């Protein structure tokens, strides 16, 4: 079972910007092949790092305004926030170990 949090325009500020934990946000879409490839890695990391990092997902088709505000030009895009600020970002389907490297030094 995934421990990732679904992010919308209504909860972005409280769940991501206001989080006391570092946050990994996965900007994705249901039709995106590379997004589907990394989805199991995102779920595994949410389980493995539960309580140490928050893993969130933004469906760019359902949350077009959020995607636009964050200038998401390609998906999947993984963005790491800490203290309400972007500290790392990568637009690519990455292996699990590479995704982990985006936030590992923050926890």
Element (H or E) spanning 57, and its range? Answer: strand 54-59
- List the catalytic residue out of 7, 16, 25, 32: 32
- List the catalytic residue out of 7, 16, 35, 66: 35
| Edge-to-edge order in the sheet of strand 54-59 | 5-6, 54-59, 23-28, 77-82, 85-91
Q: Is 35 a catalytic residue?
A: yes
Q: Is 56 a catalytic residue?
A: no
User: Token pair of 103, please?
Assistant: 């936030």
DSSP-based three-state secondary structure for 74: coil
Catalytic residues: 32, 35
């Amino acid at each position: 079972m995934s421990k990732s949090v679904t992010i919308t325009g209504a909860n972005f500020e409280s769940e991501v910007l206001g989080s006391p934990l570092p946050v990994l946000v996965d900007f994705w879409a249901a039709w995106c092949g590379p997004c589907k490839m990394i989805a199991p890695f995102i779920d595994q990391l949410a389980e493995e790092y539960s309580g140490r990092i928050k893993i969130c997902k933004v469906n760019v088709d359902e949350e077009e305004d959020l995607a636009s505000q964050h200038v998401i030009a390609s998906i999947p895009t993984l963005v790491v926030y800490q203290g309400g600020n972007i500290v790392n970002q990568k637009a690519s389907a990455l292996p699990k170990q590479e995704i982990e490297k985006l936030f590992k030094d923050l926890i």
